[in-house]
Amino acid sequence: MLLDDVTAEISGEVGTQGAAIARALAAEGARVVRGGGAGARGADILVVLAAGADAAPALLRAARAAARPMVARGWGAIMIVAEPSAQEAVDGPARRLADDLGPHGVRVICLRAARPATGAGPLAEHLAQVADLAAVSAALVVASAAAARTARA
Digit-coded pLDDT (tens) for 92-145: 888 999 999 999 989 898 887 665 444 445 555 555 565 566 566 666 666 776
Residues 34-64 pLDDT 10s: 875 544 567 888 888 877 778 778 777 888 8
Residues 63/44, Cβ–Cβ less than 8 Å: no
CB-count burial class (<10 Å; 0-12, 13-18, 19+) for 34 = exposed
Locate the domains of the chain by residue range: 7-115+123-152
Q: CATH for 7-115+123-152, among 2.102.10.10, 3.40.50.880, 3.40.50.1260, 3.40.50.720? A: 3.40.50.720
Q: pTM for this one?
A: 0.77
Strand partners, 108: 78
